[in-house]
Amino acid sequence: MRTGGGRVVIDLPSPRGPAEVEVRIRRDFVEIWHRDRCDGIFDRGSLRHWLRRPTGRLTVDEVTLLALKENRVGLVLDRAGAWSLTGEVVSWLRSRV
C-alpha cells in the first residue's frame, strides 16, 4: 500500500502478475481505478456509511465491496478478480473516506 494525499495504491496478488488498484478520494465521491480505467465511482457519504459497519455488498459500476467475516472487506473488480483487503487498507479507507 502506498499513500499520498487523498489516494492510495493497493498492491493485489494476481496469477497474471502484480496488479494495482488506486483509490482516489475526492470531495463528494471516491473513484476506484484499475490499470488506466476508472471502474467505479462511489458516493463518498454512502461509502463512508457502509465502511463503518459493512454488511452485505455495495456495488457501483464494475466494483463490488463485500462484508466478510471478522469485519474484513472484500473487493471484486468485474474484469480483474476478487481479493480480501488487508486491515491496514480498510483502516486507511475508514479514516479518510
- As beta bridge partners, residue 69 has none
Domain boundaries, the chain: 2-96
Q: Are 14 and 20 in contact (CB under 8 A)?
A: no
Q: How confident is the model at residue 70 (pLDDT cuts 50, 70, 90)?
A: confident
pLDDT value for 17: 72
Q: 59-69: per-residue pLDDT in tens?
A: 999 999 999 99
Whole-angstrom CA distances from 54 to 6, 66, 93, 97 are: 22, 8, 12, 14
